[in-house]
Amino acid sequence: MRQRLSTLADALGVFAALLVLWQLILWIFHIPQYMLPSPWAVARAVGLRFPSLLAALAITAVESGAGLIASIVAGVIVALFFAQSRWVRRMLYPYTILLQTVPIVAIAPLILMWVGAGAPAVALIAFIISLAPIIANTTQGLVSVEENLVHLFLMHNATPGQLLFKLRLPHAIPSLFVGIRIASGISVIGAITGELYAGSSSVGGGGLGYSILYASSQLQTDYLFALVLAATVLGFSFFFLVMFLEWYFLHRWHESALKMEVE
Amino acid sequence: MMPEQGVPMIELSGLTKRYGTGQTVLDSVSLTISKGEFVSFIGPSGCGKSTALKLISGLAVPTAGTISVDGMTPKNAREIISFIFQDATLLPWRTVQQNVGLGLELEGMVDKRRREKTSQLLELVGLKHMANAYPRELSGGMKMRVSIARALATSPRLLLMDEPFAALDEMSRDRLNEELLRLRDEQKWTAVFVTHSVAEAVFLSTRIVVLAPNPGRIHVVLPIELPLPRTAALRDTPEFEARVMQVSHALRAALLQ
């Protein structure tokens, strides 16, 4: 506990130093507020526009959360299918990589065209961008079961269903969490990118991405910074929520979760 | 006392296993193992000991020759076989008791009866106090005990063991050897045991099959006519020493062949 507190103190120290540096740069180079607002101005913007900031944050959280959860459900189903045969994997795995490499900025206008602007389109974009790491990691976990464990099940005349749900799936849970951890970060990025294109038009109603676009067009740089801060907080929250769930489900039996506990 | 020429449990005839690369792992092995016997396969690396177990259990298919297990094909005989692997192969997400119950669960035994049966077995291997622990909390010897309990849970009549104690220290290994014999005296299963250790093979076995490598084949079969039941004290007797010497000589000869 003491060590955790000192780690926290270190992090806060670095943060304070960055704020000082930021302020110094403003003074030394005489940078105008609309280019780079002072830390104080950003804090004031957070305070003054807290309700709309919170509303934008909530919308982005729901959109990226929905996309993430959908990608977990769909990703696990796809991975279960991939685990059935090497042949299926060889045929279809390249398309997973395609999913990962397609620039989301390029397909966002298409999705907008097909689904129309609004939260569903944004959630869909977050879903697409989160899917690949879930599929890849879960598939890896499903197929990397030790041969002797498979033999053990075969010696007890296990059915294919028993092999899948009593051996491969539980074995893949730690890998699934690795995938979710990666996906949790990029689902937020996906949602904000999506909102740049597909956020609805009412101010604050379009989530963080839309608000960022709006604030930048109005040269409200202090509010823009506040929005970026909110996006970071959202990403962090997702990450820590996933870390907590991982610890909660795995700490009793899994080594990596155990290590996390010690750190 | 010794079930030398009893009812056959395993009949191997002309058993040959070649891999796709043309390497012959086992070359025309013929052997009959009677019910109640404890037979050890011993030999240098590459003599096909583990392959022989895989073939008997139906986890691998022979290139030539026939296998009969209690009059059945290996795959059909799985109901009466339990396999103990070199590592404990426990499921880390299951508690000790749930691990012991795995075989029964896969065979569809109901929860309540399974709990009774697994509790009995944990008592038998001295791990009742660890029933709700997870495998990562156990020592190597304890894990192996869980593995043995799991294998015995399905009441097998044939136990196949592939170097089950190879990773353990000598003290744990000796103790588990003694426990294994005690369990066998109570439950009367037939055993085929693969090992690198001559002393272990002599202590456990009614017969030792010494294999020669490249290609794997039977060098000599040595009956171990030491009195049953055997206890730890046996290891200090000159008869035991003499048997260990005899098997060691045979093993060396098999290597030179």
Q: Please check whether residue B227 is in contact with residue B240, taking contact to mean a CB–CB distance below 8 angstroms.
A: no
What integer is the mean pLDDT of A70-98?
A: 90
Give how far B160 is from chain A: nearest CA, Å.
11
A170 interaction partners in chain B (CB closer than 8 Å): 91, 93
Torsion of CA B85, B90, B91, B93, to 10 degrees: -170
Tokens of A140: 């890896």
Closest chain A residue to B85, measured at CA: A148
Give how far B134 is from chain A: nearest CA, Å.
6
Tokens of B13: 């005839």
Residue A71: name the closest of A167, A152, A158, A187 by CA: A187
B89 interaction partners in chain A (CB closer than 8 Å): 146, 148-149, 152
Measure CB to CB from residue A158 to each of B79, B89, B106 and give the nearest one: B106
Q: Report how far residue B106's alpha carbon sits from residue B131's, in angstroms, rounded to the nearest whole number.
A: 19
Residue B189: name the closest of B246, B241, B230, B148 by CA: B148
B105 interaction partners in chain A (CB closer than 8 Å): 166
Give how far B219 is from chain A: nearest CA, Å.
28
The answer to whether B91 faces chain A, any CB pair under 8 Å, is yes
pTM of the model: 0.85
Q: What pLDDT is attached to residue B223?
A: 94
Share of chain A above pLDDT 70, in %: 93
Residue B199: name the closest of B158, B157, B236 by CA: B236
DSSP-derived pairing of the beta strands B190-195 and B207-212: unpaired
B89–A170 CB contact, under 8 Å: no
Q: Report how far residue A187's alpha carbon sits from residue A240's, in angstroms, rounded to the nearest whole number.
A: 14
Torsion of CA B37, B200, B87, B175, to 10 degrees: 100
The answer to whether B81 faces chain A, any CB pair under 8 Å, is yes
Q: Report how far residue B48's alpha carbon sits from residue B46's, in angstroms, rounded to the nearest whole number.
A: 5
Q: What Å distances lie between residue A54 and A48, A123, A244, CA to CA?
A: 12, 18, 24
Closest chain B residue to A159, measured at CA: B106
Share of chain B above pLDDT 90, in %: 73
- Please enumerate in sequence order all residues whose Cβ is within 8 A of that of B155, keeping only pairs 6 or more positions apart, or say none: B187
Q: Report how far residue A99's alpha carbon sits from residue A105's, in angstroms, rounded to the nearest whole number.
A: 13
B91 interaction partners in chain A (CB closer than 8 Å): 149, 167, 170
Q: Which regions in chain B score pLDDT beneath 70?
A: 1-5
Q: What pLDDT is attached to residue B193?
A: 96
The number of C-alpha atoms within 13 Å of A141 and in the hemisphere containing its C-beta is 26
Q: Tell me: the pLDDT tens digits for A123-160? A: 999 999 999 999 999 999 999 999 999 999 999 999 99
Q: Tell me: the pLDDT tens digits for A13-23? A: 998 999 999 99
The answer to whether B146 faces chain A, any CB pair under 8 Å, is no
Q: Tell me: the pLDDT tens digits for A11-47? A: 899 989 999 999 999 899 988 888 889 888 999 999 9
- Residue A263: band (very low, low, confident or very high) from pLDDT cuts 50, 70, 90: very low
Q: What pLDDT is attached to residue A258?
A: 46
A155–B78 CB contact, under 8 Å: yes
Interface confidence, given as ipTM, is 0.91
A167 interaction partners in chain B (CB closer than 8 Å): 91
Taken as a whole, chain B contains a residue count of: 257
The answer to whether B13 faces chain A, any CB pair under 8 Å, is no
Q: Where are the alpha helices (H) located in B58-139, listed in sequence order?
A: 96-100, 102-106, 111-124
Strand order in the sheet with B8-18: B24-34, B8-18, B64-69
A170–B57 CB contact, under 8 Å: no
